[in-house]
Amino acid sequence: MPRTRAKADTPTYTLSPALRRTSTIVVLGSIMSILDTTIVAVALPSLARDFHVPVTTIQWVATGYLLALALVTPVSGWAVDRFGAKRIWIMSTALFVIGSSLCGLAWSANSLIFFRVLQGFGGGMLLPVGQSILARAAGPQRMGRVMSIIGVPMVMGPIMGPVIGGLIVSNYSWRWIFYINVPIGIITLILSARWLPKFDTDQRSTAPFDTLGFCLLSPGLALLLYALSEVGTTGSFTSTSVLLSFILGAVLMVGFILRAINAKHPLLDLHPFKNRNFTIGNICIFVIGATLFGSMFLLPIYYQVARGQEAWQAGLLMAPQGIGAACIMRWAGAVTDRVGPRRVVPFGILLMAAATLPLAFVTTSTSEVLLAATLFARGLGLGLTMMPVTAAAYFDLSHAEIPKASTVMNIVRTIGGSVATALFAVVLERQIVSNLTAAGIKAPGGSAGIVGATEKLPPAVADPVAAAFAHTFWWSFFAILLAFVPTLFLPNHAPVPSDASTVDSGDEPGPGPRVAGAMSD
């Protein structure tokens, strides 16, 4: 017995067969959802050209998807408790596949945005449900390494998304960037039905759905983002449409917060924010999501519009960031489990900031080698921050709190990305117009004509456009710096092992002692 106990308490780097199968399904499903946040980026100039719309409109193809993720994610915690993780996972995957098929059939910018929202409703539950499954199986002392498994699709998205999207747009119709999800989704459905274990079959929650909370949160978020995007259209923060949307959205969000604090069964449980580590972790997660998704929106457009490169070239030039994260993420998770996130994350934030600074000086002729090295270093910073911060947020949380905490964190990350994408689109739109006007150039069709141009821009136009991108990257740089201060308050110790922290097959852990020979990594 002592020997078995020692074996169970000694951390190793292998996963049980059951957890490996579950992890495979979670990664496969999550990578579809995350891939679609990046694969569309290189297609935005083509979409703007085909649908004849400006950047502030076409950005909703990306923002609408992220917003849908944020809106449906709160439902995941309640749905898992009520219907079980396996059933919700399969239903979400099926809806995502249907939404992807409809996106490929879109006939206008508005129809594509609508179908992207539908697609996001399916994809929004995949990551939090999968993250919750692995977190509950892992326990706090293994959280860093197991969260690095969830980090795989987050790394593969930036690597594969722009490359695959660029190759498709350059050689085929942009519609195939959505059709490609269909076979992956079908495989995920088959494997899920066969391998994914059932969860919570004996302890289903009967809590009612918080309809009022959902009706406050959904339009509240949508109105705030709409107000931000309207700035790019009206050119003013004080226009009637901007002020009305912002005020109404803020009122709804305040109402939602009050509802979540006082309701017996709130849509989104905000009580984990009483935990210091959870609050600090979510502040960092918001900023990291903002700079990650915001830059993934800007960079492909910069390569194609300011530099006149093909979509496949833009995709390849984006890959170093994902490669950098992939190189260090596994190591960062293991180190976090040993020494705590405070000794890892601040260095990652500073590295991200230092690697973002050169982007604030880009021109039409900036060295591709320098850009690749910059993005690789930025990826290293992401790898040192993304999963360690997520692991830190889970410190001190019980198994019962993990599903709802996972929901909150994914909403925070997605909202950060939505806000940054909308904000950067507005800043870019205004800077392009301002720089061209200052240079005495009137571009036919405004920013829509610039972003959707079919030929390489002449130097007189390309230079002011590149300067507009450089100005916008300053916003990303300062956003990263904002995250440095809270990282200094992250835990400086490894999580304390718990006897009830893991289970043998990846099923829901019970209150009893840990099973000998349980999942170890």
Q: Is residue 428 scored above 70 in pLDDT?
A: yes
Domain of residue 314, residue span: 17-198+267-487
Residue 390 lies in a domain: yes
Chain centre to alpha carbon of residue 129: 14
Q: Are residues 425 and 351 in the same domain?
A: yes
Residue 109 lies in a domain: yes
Q: How confident is the model over 350-403, as pLDDT tens digits? A: 999 999 999 999 988 888 899 999 999 998 998 888 778 887 887 777 766 776
Reduced to 3 states (helix: H, G, I; strand: E, B; else coil), residue 208 is coil
pTM beyond 0.85: the answer is: no
Please tell me the predicted confidence (pLDDT) of residue 204.
Answer: 59
Reference 514, options 502, 410, 505; nearest CA is: 502
Domain total of the chain: 2
Q: Are residues 314 and 272 in the same domain?
A: yes
Q: Are residues 455 and 326 in the same domain?
A: yes
Tokens in use for 132?
Answer: 């919750």
Please tell me the predicted confidence (pLDDT) of residue 205.
Answer: 61
Q: Are residues 260 and 288 in the same domain?
A: no
> What Cα–Cα distance (Å) separates residue 314 from each residue in 41, 344, 368?
10, 31, 11
Last residue of a domain, one of 222, 237, 266: 266
Last residue of a domain, one of 230, 249, 266: 266
Pick from 132-146, 308-322, 447-461, 502-516: least confident: 502-516
Contacts of 183 by beta carbon, 8 Å cutoff, 6+ apart = none
Pick from 71-85, 102-116, 494-508: least confident: 494-508
Task: Give the rounded percent of residues in the chain with a pLDDT score beyond 70.
Answer: 78
When pLDDT is averaged across residues 300-317 and rounded to a whole number, the result is 83
When pLDDT is averaged across residues 50-59 and rounded to a whole number, the result is 78
**Any idea which residue has 């900036």 for tokens?**
366
Q: Are residues 348 and 481 in the same domain?
A: yes
Residue 433 lies in a domain: yes
Alpha-carbon dihedral sign for residues 24, 29, 32, 34: negative
Q: How confident is the model over 174-222, as pLDDT tens digits? A: 898 888 888 888 988 888 888 776 654 445 566 788 888 888 887 888 7
Q: Are residues 310 and 411 in the same domain?
A: yes
Please tell me the predicted confidence (pLDDT) of residue 506.
Answer: 38
Residue 237 lies in a domain: yes
Chain centre to alpha carbon of residue 431: 26
Please tell me the predicted confidence (pLDDT) of residue 237.
Answer: 66
Residue 494 lies in a domain: no
6 falls in which pLDDT band (50, 70, 90)? Answer: very low
Q: Are residues 194 and 251 in the same domain?
A: no
Residue 107's CB: how many other CB atoms inside 10 A? 8
Decide: 138 and 504 in contact? Cβ < 8 Å: no
Q: Is residue 521 scored above 50 in pLDDT?
A: no
Cα(315)–Cα(323) distance, integer angstroms: 13
Cα(168)–Cα(174) distance, integer angstroms: 7
**Chain-wide mean pLDDT for the chain?**
77
When pLDDT is averaged across residues 123-144 and rounded to a whole number, the result is 67
Please tell me the predicted confidence (pLDDT) of residue 64.
Answer: 81
Residue bearing the bigger pLDDT, 480 or 153: 480
Q: Are residues 362 and 235 in the same domain?
A: no
Q: Are residues 361 and 314 in the same domain?
A: yes
